[in-house]
Chain A
Amino acid sequence: MGMLEAILLTVITAATPLVLASIGELVTERTGVLNLGVEGMMVMGAALAFSATQLTGSPYLGILAGIAGGALFSLLFGFLTLTLVANQVATGLALTILGLGVSGQIGEPYAGMSGAKLQPIEIPVLAEIPFIGPLLFRQDIIFYLSIAIVAGVNWFLFRTRAGLKVRAIGDNHASAHALGIHVIRTRYLAVMFGGACAGLAGAQLSLVYTPQWVENMSAGRGWIALALVVFASWRPWRVLLGGYLFGAVSISQLHAQAFGIGIPSQFLSALPYAATVVVLILISHNRRTTLINTPASLGKPFVPDR
């Protein structure tokens, strides 16, 4: 395996959790709900996935536990913001803080244990392609899922009627309600999809990226995922692009240190955020593009008048 291949492999591993958490949050935000609790849901997913794997010995059950944990945890956010109409920003922040705390409790008995690493699944024939094969077709299931979910979300949003309803709710929830679309129900489902994706991203962290449990192991990736959604201007394929770009930047800082390139690591760590600011400036420059892509009801509470 060549040097470049090894680097690219680490980029893919670093990018996958970002892509997963972002694509989930993208769907949530497309319905007009801003869930800032991605970090909390992610770290819950990581803790649950690792402990379930330790208990059952099966990383696949661990993945399921991570997904279910993230989804259930997001349900709490959904209940507070959608049913009780609490402030979305405050609730999201609380979810993150709560998630970091609770996950520490869950993962504590397993701290320092080395876990069963999720084994790659080799896809016959394709895996034999030189260079690309080992990179893309000798990967773990979570990587395959991440690509499938991005493709699926893109297809769902722009090719299906349900996806059209999701976009309509995000654009104008009052009109959507007037048309008889179930705004709250759809938002619950979208919030839970976001939670499930964040939980899966967490499972990737504790089963693939670094197969062990460390407190706060999400290490800010949930926030990068949130920035990525804006970076992608709520377009699924751009999440993939952005996720790999950000993944590459975070990996390059490790390699830069290894090669002794004199760029302060803090500067490289800040790059994803700086890139987000630049993208925000670029997309806000063109009002029409913003208007058509940004969910106009994002963060606004909805109470049907009845």
Chain B
Amino acid sequence: MSDVGASGGSPLLAVRSLTKLFGSFAACNGIDLDIQPGETHALLGENGAGKSTLVKMLFGVLAPTSGEILWKGEPVRIASPGAARRLGIGMVFQHFSLFEALTVAENIALSLPPGISLSRVADEAATLSRAYGLPLDPKAHVADLSVGERQRIEIVRALLQNPELIILDEPTSVLTPQEADRLFETLAKLKAEGRSVLYISHRLEEVQRICDRATVLRHGKVTGACDPRRETPASLARMMVGSDVAAVSAAGTTVKGDVLLEANHLNAAARTPFAVSLKDICLKVRAGEVLAIAGVAGNGQGELFDALSGEFPVSDARAVSIRGKAAGNLGITARRLMGAGFVPEERHGHAAVPALPLSDNLVLARNQSDRKTFLAGGILGIIRNAVVRIASRRISETMDVRKSGEDPAAGSLSGGNLQKYIVGRELDRQPAVLIVNQPTWGVDAGAASRIRQALVDLAKAGSAVLVISQDLDEIFEVATEIAVISDGRLSNAYPAQDMTREKIGLLMGGMHGSETSPEAAHAH
């Protein structure tokens, strides 16, 4: 691969007015893009900007409607992922295309050309993963691996084909700062070998750190090409969103009031072999506070949310208190009636039923906690459609939910808009306590900023807000206090201004003595 960098000037991959229509909707509209040999090229854009559609066409998953793809100057038709791989294009998907029931080696073998024995695949994968600092056990079942380890499989799988261009789709969204650093080291190695990288992200800071050039997409069109290191996050965001992204303002002193949410030596056993048990969790959130809980995925965030929301109550009633009243053994409806609101992590299937319209989703969530508002006819529980419609419209307007039609199915909204609706659905009740798990996971910059501002505003209005998040940028934007969860244990909460990324990183891994060593800490 060492000769790849030498072909000066002519791009490795060029895209000329590439268009993809779904019906009459242009997901990609006349895209031009050049990727030079050996460069790390960022593809920036909000959700729905056409980034995924574009890379799917480059990787042969989708067929373009019109336009041209040139590989080393030659026009090519990439009919399938196999064809893309034969050209020398590798891809690491955002939603991993891994098979949980198969082993690591089997997963890798599936994407290799036929005729290689499974044991050789296992050996090569182990060697390669060590060489790039991504240790893997080839015999492990994917179902047993963490998200970070799964990503390693994807990367090793792509690398085994010796690609000249590697496409990475939002690779750091699931990683700790330390894991992300390790990934950046791997990317630097690839670049040093003369390979090109197409790096898709909406994390501007990362793009500025590792990318040589950036192409920005909005509404399926290229809206800018730049050297990200010469831009500011604000100018990049402006290119992505088309207008200035409102910075979340936590300004204005808030008066801290009574403790509205408290966990007092909360313990919960793991419910499944993959779950984490909660160990002696203590936390207090006062009125006016936003307590953010940082942590790497799979360290008990989901379990903590379940215990605090009452999806899975605990036996000790005093382990959780809402507005001073013991609530540990109560279910979610009882806790909502005490003035709490909850937004779970999973939008589809947990916070919303994708196939049902927004108004039905509103009734489903609040028919018990706001029974008198939405239901008539006593025990008959007849839905007051007019009231529901008005409430649904109010939520959409307040949160700026962009949707097709008056009351579309929840699943037809983009992730960001649906999340705005779900958060708005809870805020509409003016909850005294709001508990949110990963509020802006996979949400575009504009929607994320809107949601974060809403959380900050709610706290300023005198509610207690608990945010569980893996996104450190988000945590620093919204939090007044920060704690870190690791292996089901919660650290002390520290005032946000006293916390640094390094400190959070150490708390994430260091508390139970594995994962991280101090020297691996983020140099930021």
Chain A: how many interface residues by the 8 Å CB criterion? 25
Majority SS at the chain B contact face: loop
Q: Is there contact, CB below 8 Å, between B101 and A293?
A: yes
- Candidates B99, B106, B109; contact of A172 at CB < 8 Å: B99
CA distance A176 to B96 in the complex (A): 11
Chain B stretch 77-125: residues in CB contact (< 8 A) with chain A? 80-83, 85, 93, 96-102, 106, 109-111, 114
Chain A hits for B143, CB < 8 A: 288, 291-292
Interface string of A159-195 (1 = CB under 8 A from B): 0010011011011101110111100000000000000
Cβ B93 vs Cβ A179 within 8 A: no
Within 8 A of A (CB), among B245-302: 272-274
Q: How far is the CB of B299 from chain A (nearest CB, A)?
A: 20
Q: Does B97 lie within 8 Å of A178, measured CB to CB?
A: yes
CA distance A288 to B274 in the complex (A): 9
B126 CB within 8 Å of chain A: no
Q: How many A-B residue pairs have CB under 8 A?
A: 70
A-chain residues with CB within 8 Å of residue B274 when the two chains form the complex: 287-288
Once the chains bind, are A179 and B110 in contact (CB under 8 Å)? Answer: yes
Q: Are A180 and B82 in contact (CB under 8 A)?
A: yes
Say whether B110 contacts A171, CB under 8 Å.
no
Whether a CB of chain A sits under 8 angstroms from the CB of B63 is yes
Chain B residues near A171 (CB-CB < 8 A)? 99-102
Give the interface centre of B80, B93, B99 by most chain A CB atoms within 10 Å: B99
With an 8 Å Cβ cutoff, the count of chain B residues facing the other chain is: 28
Asked whether A296 is an interface residue with its Cβ less than 8 Å from the other chain, the reply is yes
Q: A292-B143, A306-B62, A306-B63 are in contact. Are A287 and B99 (CB under 8 A)?
A: no
Pick from A174, A293, A305: contact of B97, CB under 8 Å: A174
Contact (Cβ within 8 A) A296 B93? no
Q: Across the interface, do A287 and B101 meet the contact criterion of CB distance under 8 Å?
A: no
Contact A164 to B101, CB < 8 A, known contacts A181-B110, A288-B273: no
Bound CA span A161–B108, Å:
12
Q: Is the pair B101, A179 in contact by a Cβ cutoff of 8 Å?
A: no
Residues in B whose Cβ lies below 8 Å from that of A294: 101
Is the beta-carbon distance between B110 and A305 smaller than 8 angstroms?
no
Closest CB-CB distance, A12 to chain B, in whole Å? 33
> A179 and B81 in contact (CB under 8 A), knowing A168-B99, A291-B100, A292-B143?
yes
Q: Given the complex of chains A and B, what is the CA–CA distance between A295 and B102 in angstroms?
A: 11
Central interface residue in B83, B85, B110, B273, by most chain A CB within 10 Å = B110
| B61 at interface by CB-CB < 8 Å | yes
Residues of A within 8 A of B61 (CB): 178, 305
Closest-by-CB residue of B relative to A306 is: B63
A180 touching B80, Cβ below 8 Å: yes
Q: How far is the CB of B260 from chain A (nearest CB, A)?
A: 36
Give the top 3 A-B pairs by smallest Cβ distance, nearest first: A175-B97, A180-B82, A171-B99
